[in-house]
Chain A
Amino acid sequence: MLDSKVPAGPLAEKWSNHKFNLKLVNPANKRKFTIIVVGTGLAGASAAASLAELGYNVKTFCYQDSPRRAHSIAAQGGINAAKNYQNDGDSIFRLFYDTIKGGDYRAREANVYRLAENSVKIIDQCVAQGVPFAREYGGLLDNRSFGGAQVSRTFYARGQTGQQLLLGAYSALNRQIKKGKVKSYTRHEMLDLVVIDGHAKGIITRDLVTGKIEAHEGHAVLLCTGGYGNVFFLSTNAMGCNVTAAWRAHKRGAFFANPCYTQIHPTCIPVTGDHQSKLTLMSESLRNDGRVWVPKTKELAEKLRKGELGPNDIKEEDRDYFLERKYPSFGNLVPRDVASRNAKEVVDEGRGVGKTGFAVFLDFADAIKRMGEETVRAKYGNLFDMYQKITDENPYEVPMRIYPAVHYTMGGLWVDYNLMTTIPGLYCLGEANFSDHGANRLGASALMQGLSDGYFVIPYTVGDYLAGLGSFAPVDKNHPAFEETRKNDRR
């Protein structure tokens, strides 16, 4: 029943052929169409800016006070691209393969191949916008390897890559706002989707300042609203990421795929108590040098929890470096899901540490001995400072405590190859859709997907739908569906 619309032909030619076969809207007609973009993170801001550049009228909506606050901003690690600048054997096919494998072979291959193809263009685009990526002394872009990849293909801006990429997309968006091609609605929350004759034709929003409930019409609606991590009680998502938009779209008939595919990130700062409002992630690069352990016995763990013993009182022979013990070849660098599962297991056995018992140690004592405190500080200083700010413990002296947390959702609204949901005219981009990461996302691929969808996929595919509408008439604002949907939301 579902038609993915994946084009025929060899993997490497699908996207080029498809782009050629998609219908175009001629430049003079683009300005007759209005596109609604909900969410201004990497996917939303890049889509809105790119579509406005093409000539479409765009309306963007975000619940924050500025488009720049979207939670893409909090991504730390980096963004993958198959540039092969390091001459270490990377290629589009290898990035495709690693992504597919990382997702346990459950992602849609055609989408992932396209993602890997687009990855190289993303870096070019961001650099042209003035995104200050890390560089080597020779002035060329620096790369690091990430999440167990065998090649160095991750571009980064210290531990703030998401921030820099988002501010780049925000600047492109601002340029179009200035030109009058984008109208930006801030402090507006999407409450519902307006569907007319089976097609998405608008949204209902609440103005978070005045409380006013309003209807907005458009020829297509793009949901770029992020994942559903906050359906769990605590996650690393921002406080306002509440999945309303995707959920309401689902209630209106958009299919939802793979909701169980949730990424649990192993290196979060643990919960402290009932008052906790959200969790803070620390980059998993910490596992490059930190060693994960808990005491061998429940009794010792109990004493640690009660504060009768400190972590440094536990003798070497009483420590269980469980990842090193169980996975000698990977050690502490096992994939995210393995590290998370094992941490939970030892905690369930009663060997968890910290006041609450919901934590394992991440110990840098050996790294400090080996490299010296200064080197460790240079590498992880920011993260150590952040940890100390939150926990009031000095990780140079006592081991950090970490615990897994919900971080990213691979599942989402079902989309076809054009990123259209099962409701014609309703598209879904970035983390909010389900298509590119299978059962587990490769590190440094979230930013890549958001920007690929926004900069390089939707500008092609949305035109095909609009050209197929067969009319340039504005959406009828007075259609009863708007009032009906709006009424529905006065609850």
Chain B
Amino acid sequence: MSVGTYTFRYSTLHTQFIIDMSKHMNLTLKVWRQKNQNSEGKFVTIQANNIADDMSFLEMLDVVNEDLTRKGEDPIYFDHDCREGICGMCSLVINGRPHGPNERTTTCQLHMRSFHDGQTIVIEPWRAAAFPVLKDLAVDRSAFDRIQQAGGYINVNTGGVPDANAIPIPKRIADEAFESATCIGCGACVAACKNASAMLFVSAKVSQFALLPQGQTERYERAQAMVDQMDKEGFGNCTNTGACEAECPVGIKLTNIARLNREYFTAKIFRQEDVHA
């Protein structure tokens, strides 16, 4: 990134407005550095000086990376894209908490004003057997994609579908399905869980379709296929500690897990024909 260019452009034209308007702080970062999937990682201490309080957490890392690059060192690798809290690509366990200290906030929406001068910040990747570290702070979350591929859809082809208003759906149901559908697939729930369970993520998708009339036809097969895939990927069991709900940046509720359990056990206990009878 050409932050240098920007500084030049702005500060020559508008110095009086831009320079030193924010509070600054010096921080000590303990960052997990790992060369690749096959190497051992370790914490490395990096000094982050002169950090403005209105920077986002990732902008702070950008600045640190500029510095590392200038010194000829490898910049810290982390995942991010939209930086507005919706794509689910950013991650990071910050001082022990997925997405950092603030409730309902993704790492990219976290700002440095939540930290103070002189603070030590420990930054780690998501830790879960099913999410192997690729490099530094980035993990491989393709297990989530495979769970969705196992059944996270309604079997319809493009074209030949009924009119959108053919089936009225009560607003209450539509709203509830929407709430479940807002999961951004970040994986914080897994990182927060002592068992590294993916139940909150899976239950969000299963719930969305279990609630909607469009999802009824394959309701139970879906729950079963997604849970089976989840187990295959090596995610742990749910023991109802609720850490996932507490750390989920979009507020996916534990009630989704209760619904998933019902769906799954119904699928297990009865054979398919009985369920539909």
* Interfacial chain B residues near A127, Cβ < 8 Å: 161, 164, 214
Does chain A have a CB within 8 A of B142? yes
Give A443 to B117 CA distance when docked, in angstroms. 43
The answer to whether A66 and B215 have CB atoms under 8 Å apart is no
Within 8 A of A (CB), among B194-230: 208-209, 212, 214-215
Please name all residues of chain A whose beta carbon is closer than 8 Å to the beta carbon of B153 when the two chains form the complex. Answer: 129, 171-172, 174-175
Q: When the two chains form their complex, are residues A172 and B158 in contact, meaning their CB atoms are under 8 A apart?
A: yes
Chain A neighbourhood of B135, CB < 8 A: 209
Interface segment out of the listed B3-11, B26-34, B240-248, B269-277: B3-11
Of B56-64, B68-76, B252-260, which binds chain A? B56-64
Q: How many residues of B contact A (CB 8 A)?
A: 79
Decide: B84 and A74 in contact? CB cutoff 8 A: yes
Partner of A53 from the list B86, B158, B182, B184 (CB cut-off 8 Å) is B158
Q: Which residues of chain B have C-beta atoms less than 8 A from A260's C-beta? A: none
* Docked-complex contact B14 and A356, CB < 8 angstroms: yes
Question: Are B87 and A73 interface neighbours, CB within 8 A?
Answer: yes
- Find A171's partner among B140, B148, B158 (CB 8 Å cutoff): B148
Query: With A and B bound together, what is the CA distance between A325 and B73 in angstroms?
Result: 55
Q: How far is the CB of B17 from chain A (nearest CB, A)?
A: 4
Q: Check A206 for interface membership: any CB of B closer than 8 A.
A: no
A residues near B85, Cβ cutoff 8 Å: 386
Contact (Cβ within 8 A) B59 A277: yes
A361 to B241, CA, bound (A): 45
Q: Is there an interface contact between B156 and A129, defined as CB atoms closer than 8 Å?
A: yes
Which residues of chain A are near B142, meaning CB under 8 Å?
A: 65-66, 186
Contact yes or no, B171 A157, CB < 8 A: no
Q: Mark B159-177, 1 if CB is under 8 A from A, else 0.
A: 1011111001111001101
Provide the A161-186 mask, 1 if CB < 8 A to any CB of B, else 0.
00110010011101101100000101
User: Contact size class for A?
Assistant: 35 or more
A273-B22 in contact (CB<8A): yes
Please, how many angstroms separate the alpha-carbon atoms of A121 and B145 in the complex? Answer: 27
Q: Would you call A66 and B52 a contact (CB within 8 A)?
A: no
User: What does the 1/0 interface line of A322-342 toward B look like (CB < 8 Å)?
Assistant: 000000000000000000000
Contacting pair A83 B158 (CB below 8 A): no
Please, how many angstroms separate the alpha-carbon atoms of A141 and B208 in the complex?
17
B159, chain A: closest CB distance, angstroms: 7
Most buried by A among B18, B81, B138, B174: B81
A127 to chain B, nearest CB (A): 4
User: Cβ of B149 < 8 Å from any Cβ of A?
Assistant: yes
Is A375 among interface residues, defined by CB-CB distance under 8 A? no
Chain B residue contacts of A389, Cβ below 8 A: 102, 105, 109, 111
Question: Which A-B residue pairs are the 6 nearest by beta carbons?
Answer: A139-B168, A171-B153, A128-B161, A132-B178, A127-B164, A50-B158
* 24 A-B interface contacts by CB (under 8 A): A50-B158, A53-B158, A64-B87, A71-B81, A74-B87, A83-B165, A124-B163, A138-B168, A140-B168, A157-B178, A164-B178, A209-B134, A238-B81, A273-B18, A273-B55, A275-B3, A275-B62, A275-B63, A278-B84, A280-B84, A356-B17, A386-B109, A389-B109, A392-B54
Given contacts A133-B174, A276-B6, 13 further A-B pairs with CB under 8 A are A53-B158, A74-B86, A125-B158, A132-B178, A138-B168, A172-B153, A172-B156, A174-B149, A184-B145, A238-B81, A273-B21, A277-B62, A280-B84
